[in-house]
């Protein structure tokens, strides 16, 4: 961008979320680049102020809790040239029309992926070692020699791994897994064979991934095509003792079919996402010993959130300087994104 007037940045994430991702140092950097306006303390307050703030906005910084920008909002924002999203999923917040109007959109998905991939690894190892059952037994005071009864731990080294989806998180997960030297099959109809070869994985159809893997980790986005992509038939194909990890979205897994399969005790699972959320207190998933549950926090670490905010402010600096962006979303990516 050029011109003598300082650009105007409107932060549409509510204040508590802003505090998570924009440290004092990063806010000072943003203030050195532009005039900054904060839209409100809550999502509702932000939504109520958008009409007043957007006409003067050159850049929008969004994040968790930010209200969606609609076509009507874009009509009121003739100066808007950049949307920098400090979180991962952008599709709910930004309409496809933004790309048609030449608005540049970037997000921190690649940074969020680091934390999510670590959680996928954590859940994988915990499931293989049946860690939570042992921990619960120790806390409950069960006799020491009774705890290993039925205990059949497995190591990750050399296991057959199946990935469903080959996006940012899956690629970081692959990097974390290298010391364990797994054999990897990947299902992703959008991934080119040449790129799969670069990643060191074999492309396979979904049935093959489920049938031949000791561990299946789900990393597919929410699209019409991925609704219940893994259902009863695919779950039946899993090997006895297989581990299923989902740190992506519950949308991809048929929850009823998954519950039925877990209730047989034949497989184990590590789940960070559910349908619905929050997971009801009476959910049968909560009563199963062969599933590890976490409340949709796979990407939530202090370090990842602060890195996400810093990355988007650095992206704004590059944009204002006319330099290439590191986290820009291409228009043709948008349709297949989460």
265: left (phi over 0), alpha (psi -120 to 50) or beta: left
Q: DSSP 3-state assignment of 228?
A: coil
Q: Going by CATH, does the domain composed of 8-107+302-334 fall within 3.40.50.720?
A: yes
What residues of the chain score a pLDDT lower than 50?
Answer: 2
For residue 60, give the nearest of 40, 32, 39 by alpha carbon. 39
Q: How many residues does the chain have?
A: 338
Q: Going by CATH, does the domain composed of 112-293 fall within 3.40.50.170?
A: no
Q: Which pLDDT value is given to residue 151? A: 85
C-alpha separations of 219 from 43, 70, 138, 186, 222 in Å: 28, 28, 33, 10, 10
For the chain, the structural domain boundaries read 8-107+302-334, 112-293
Q: Determine whether 277 is an active site residue.
A: yes
Q: DSSP 3-state assignment of 85?
A: strand
Count Cβ atoms within 10 A of the Cβ of residue 303 and give its class: 0-12 exposed, 13-18 middle, 19 or more buried. Answer: exposed
Single out the catalytic residue among 277, 286, 303, 323: 277
- What residues form DSSP beta bridges with 244? 216, 269
Torsion of CA 127, 130, 136, 139, to 10 degrees: -120
161 in Cβ contact with 154 (< 8 Å): no
Q: Which pLDDT value is given to residue 258? A: 98
- Reported as a single tens digit per residue, the pLDDT across 296-312 is 999 999 999 999 999 99
Q: Determine whether 146 is an active site residue.
A: no
Single out the catalytic residue among 296, 300, 318, 328: 296
Q: Determine whether 249 is an active site residue.
A: yes
- Reported as a single tens digit per residue, the pLDDT across 217-236 is 999 999 899 999 999 999 99
For residue 39, give the nearest of 27, 25, 54, 23 by alpha carbon. 54
Domains 8-107+302-334 and 112-293 share a fold: yes
Q: Which pLDDT value is given to residue 155? A: 97
Q: Which pLDDT value is given to residue 314? A: 98
Distance, C-alpha 114 to centroid of its chain: 10
Single out the catalytic residue among 85, 107, 249, 305: 249
């Amino acid at each position: 961008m050029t011109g003598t007037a300082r650009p105007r940045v409107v932060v549409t994430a509510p204040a508590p979320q802003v505090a998570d991702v924009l440290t004092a140092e990063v806010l000072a950097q943003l203030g050195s680049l532009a005039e900054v306006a904060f839209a409100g303390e809550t999502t509702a307050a932000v939504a109520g102020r958008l009409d007043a703030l957007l006409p003067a906005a050159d850049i929008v910084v969004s994040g968790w809790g930010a209200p969606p920008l609609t076509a009507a909002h874009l009509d009121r924002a003739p100066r808007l040239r950049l949307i920098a999203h400090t979180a991962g999923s952008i599709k709910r917040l930004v309409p496809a029309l933004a790309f048609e109007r030449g608005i540049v959109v970037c997000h921190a998905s690649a940074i969020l992926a680091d934390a999510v991939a670590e959680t996928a690894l954590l859940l994988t190892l915990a499931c293989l070692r049946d860690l939570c059952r042992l921990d619960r037994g120790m806390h409950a005071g069960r006799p020491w020699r009774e705890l290993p009864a039925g205990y059949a731990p497995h190591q990750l080294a050399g296991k057959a791994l199946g990935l469903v989806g080959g996006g940012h998180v899956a690629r970081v997960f692959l990097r974390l897994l290298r010391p364990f030297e797994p054999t990897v099959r990947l299902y992703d109809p959008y991934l080119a064979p040449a790129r799969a070869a670069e990643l060191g994985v074999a492309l396979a159809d979904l049935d093959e991934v489920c049938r031949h893997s000791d561990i299946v980790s789900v990393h597919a986005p929410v699209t019409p095509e991925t609704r219940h992509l893994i259902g009863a038939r695919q779950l039946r194909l899993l090997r006895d003792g297989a581990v299923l990890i989902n740190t992506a979205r519950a949308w991809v897994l048929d929850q009823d079919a998954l519950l039925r399969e877990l209730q047989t005790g034949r497989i184990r699972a590590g789940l960070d996402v559910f349908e619905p959320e929050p997971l009801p207190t009476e959910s049968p998933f909560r009563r199963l010993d062969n599933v590890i549950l976490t409340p949709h926090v796979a990407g939530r670490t202090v370090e990842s959130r602060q890195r996400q905010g810093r990355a988007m402010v650095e992206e704004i600096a590059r944009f204002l300087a006319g330099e290439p962006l590191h986290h820009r979303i291409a228009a043709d990516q948008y349709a297949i994104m989460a």
